[in-house]
């Protein structure tokens, strides 16, 4: 692999294999949303503020980790646009499928399913399909979440939607850890190839 190929790989790798540790702050955000939407949130405004600060702190720590260990990579404008389109489309699919499901099943649903969980997972599958690709672990995780949301195991409690954010946060975290593992492995392979080229030219 020559220098031009390495530079091209460096531009692409964070978006081929997502910087998955960002799943940590995003999973915390999901948990925060879920807890905030419970009928009796288990905290005071001070605790809520502390949770927000924890999310921000974890986001900053992950950013610093990636900058120190992988450097700063500015993606191509076309790839930035693709990720934006993926995010907007995924969210639109979530909203549309959520409204369609509630129109068919009632609001709140008359069946003990979790519409929020199933439709959010569907939106995530669309996001990955457009933005970075559907790797095996993403398909397994998010299809499993869709299926779990459709199972009649969620009861009829009014907190169903709020509770759904907790397993969704867990799925984001697990998926992110797999993404991080793939990123580290890919980055190391580029480094090894770079060292081999350097030695060959010595």
pLDDT at 197: 52
Mean pLDDT, the chain, as a whole number?
Answer: 84
Which of 11 and 114 is assigned the larger pLDDT?
114
Tell me how many domains the chain contains.
1
Within the chain, where are the H helices? 3-16, 23-36, 45-70, 77-105, 115-131, 136-150, 160-200
pLDDT for 165-190, tens place per residue? 999 999 999 999 999 998 888 777 65
DSSP code at position 194: H
The whole-number average pLDDT for the span 88-111 is 93
Whole-structure pTM over 0.85, yes or no? no
pLDDT for 102-145, tens place per residue? 999 988 888 999 999 999 999 999 999 998 888 999 999 999 99
Cα→Cα distances 67→14, 54, 63, 150, 179, Å: 12, 20, 6, 40, 17
Q: Domain limits at 192?
A: 3-200
- C-alpha to C-alpha distance for 188 and 182, rounded to whole angstroms: 10
């Amino acid at each position: 692999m020559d220098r031009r190929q390495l530079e091209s790989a460096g531009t692409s790798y964070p978006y081929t294999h997502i910087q998955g540790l960002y799943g940590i702050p995003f999973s915390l955000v999901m948990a925060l949303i879920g807890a905030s939407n419970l009928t009796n949130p288990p905290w005071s405004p001070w605790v809520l503020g502390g949770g927000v600060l924890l999310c921000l702190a974890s986001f900053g720590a992950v950013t610093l980790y990636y900058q120190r260990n992988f450097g700063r990579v500015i993606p191509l404008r076309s790839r930035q646009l693709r990720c934006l389109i993926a995010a907007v489309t995924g969210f639109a699919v979530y909203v549309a499928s959520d409204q369609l499901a509630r129109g068919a099943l009632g609001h709140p649903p008359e069946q003990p399913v979790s519409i929020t969980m199933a439709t959010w997972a569907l939106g995530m599958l669309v996001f990955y399909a457009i933005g970075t690709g559907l790797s095996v672990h993403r398909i397994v995780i998010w299809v499993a979440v869709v299926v779990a949301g459709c199972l009649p195991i969620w009861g009829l409690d009014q907190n169903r939607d709020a509770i759904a954010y907790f397993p969704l946060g867990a799925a984001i975290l697990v998926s992110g850890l797999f993404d991080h593992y793939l990123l580290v492995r890919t980055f190391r392979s580029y480094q090894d190839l770079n060292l081999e080229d350097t030695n060959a030219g010595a």
